[in-house]
Each structure stands twice: as C-alpha cells, then as structure tokens.
Amino acid sequence: MWKDKVKELLDKVLEDNKSLFLIDFSIASDNTIRIVIDGDEGVTLQDCITVSRAIEHNLDREETDFSLEVTSTGATEPLILPRQYTKNIGRKLEVKTSETTYEGNLTAANHDNITLEWKAREPKPIGKGKVTVLKKQDIPFSDIVKAKVVLKF
C-alpha cells in the first residue's frame, strides 16, 4: 500500500513534467526509495530536486521512516527504453544483438527499430585497393541485447 502511494506521487510529478520519464523505481525492505529518471532533453539537478520534493513533501515520516534517492541515468548506462534512443539521435552507439555487435551513428529511431550508419573500408569491386563505403543497418528493438552511447574524450 505504501509503495502504491509513492508510485502515485511519482506518476503525478512525471505527468506534470512531460519531458521526464521513469527508468527504474524500487523500494528496498529498509524503505529506501530509489528512482532513476531520464529526460528528452537530459536531466538537470533541478529536475531531480523537483521529483524528490514532490514525493518527500507528500509522505509522512511519522507514519513510515524512509530515505529517498532520485538520480538520472549515467552516461555509461545502457539504453533501455525506445524514448532514450530518440534523444540520442546523432550520437555514436554500440549495439549488441544475439548475433553481432554494431558500432555506428544513430540516424533514426521509432517505436519498432533504430538505424545505425557507419563508414567501412572494403576491397574495390574492380582492381586493387580499398574504397570507403557507407553502411546502414536497421535493428529492431526486439533484437537488441544491449546498447550504449560511445563516449569520446
């Protein structure tokens, strides 16, 4: 019942802040509430504070003692929801399927699949040497085992 109340408060604050969405929500046996959010334009510290306050200010610590942690997904965390792919269009991804691993620029994402593009060196069709070709692969979400953004430093 207590978890339902927290979830209700969480749903309300996310409804009020439409660019934010839930990645993970859990309540441990010691009443530690852990919420991980992401956003279409990223997540600011203020976004985390807004979600935290919306929940914390509407729960009674006299009734149930709890601790609350609201965080955003980390840059190295795998992408889970289709909505996360949309916000990463234009970035380089590493995508693992059950058969192979692709690394390329995310050029499109919809509810069913993503499109990666990359350049590869291949032998010339005629003669010696190699030529650079643009490769393109559509990958259905159902085939993705793991996907993450490749960070460049």
111-121 per-position pLDDT tens digit: 899 999 999 99
Whole-number CA gyration radius for the chain: 21
23-64 per-position pLDDT tens digit: 999 999 999 999 999 999 889 999 999 999 999 999 888 888
All structural domains of the chain with their residue ranges: 2-72, 82-149
Residue type, 149: V
Phi then psi for residue 142, to 5 deg, are -65, -20
SS3 110: coil
- Give the fold, CATH level 3, of 82-149: SH3 type barrels. (2.30.30)
Assigned CATH for 2-72: 3.30.300.70
| Range 100-119 average pLDDT | 96
Mean pLDDT of the chain: 93
Residue type, 13: V
Reference 50, options 7, 90, 10; nearest CA is 10
